[in-house]
Amino acid sequence: MGSTALEQPNERPADEGVDSEESLHERCTHHPGRPAVARCSACEEPVCMTCAVPVRGRVLGPECLAAELGDPAITTPPEPDRTLVGSWMAVAGAALALVATAAPWTRTGAGDRMFGAWVPSFRWSMVAAVAAAVLLPAVWWFHRHGARSGAMVAIVGGAGVAVASALAIAFPPTFQVASWGPWVAALSGTIVVAGGLANVVMGARSGQGV
């Protein structure tokens, strides 16, 4: 009797250690991108910190919580979209790049006017202007639809605007000097690229449950 009573405390922590080790690798049933912190007391499904709700000494998931409280309006908390920050950065940068094409791009010559990037000849300013005009609706569409491929569009398109603007600064037309327009466009393209990279990084972290 006495030896049995002494053995029981040693057996229980061993079992709990195994369960806790296994739970480290579990993912929430409702949010696969998040690690599970507990199991629902009713259905035994693994749940994350957001889904685990303590009720009357038990931990319940969203579905079992609705049944317990008799409120069908209780639903699974939505997964936060961490890629929104990068998407908004890309949209803002693309919009600023398009606005920059309306500024003077050279201090003399055809580009020394409003919409100085839009000239009726092949120049790096025209390449940057066309790229900015295509980039803005593209990143906006991907932002609205939440498509993951929008990150690559932002990175490639933003790099195109930034590189073309930098070339317009480095190689202006003969006997002309670049104005402030291409500098703003180059900075805007860099912002779009940063937004696309942030989208990729945040999306990867969400998938890992960080």
Q: Which of 31-35, 76-80, 81-85, 181-185 has the highest mean pLDDT?
A: 181-185
pLDDT in tens, 16-68: 443 444 545 688 887 776 788 999 998 998 988 888 888 888 898 888 887 87
Give me the amino acid identity at 143.
H
pLDDT given for residue 49 in this prediction: 86
Question: 35-69: string of b/e by CB count within 10 Å (b at 16+)?
Answer: bbbbbbbbeebbbbebbbbeeeeebbbbbbbbebe
pLDDT given for residue 70 in this prediction: 74
pLDDT given for residue 161 in this prediction: 97
Measured over the CA atoms of residue 101, residue 158, residue 128 and residue 136, the dihedral's sign is negative
How confident is residue 172, by pLDDT bands cut at 50, 70 and 90?
Answer: very high
pLDDT given for residue 69 in this prediction: 76
pLDDT reading at 74 higher than 70: no
Q: Which residues contact 27 (CB under 8 A, 6 or more apart)?
A: 33, 34, 35, 36, 46, 209
SS3 47: strand
pLDDT given for residue 206 in this prediction: 54
pLDDT in tens, 144-163: 876 667 889 999 999 999 99
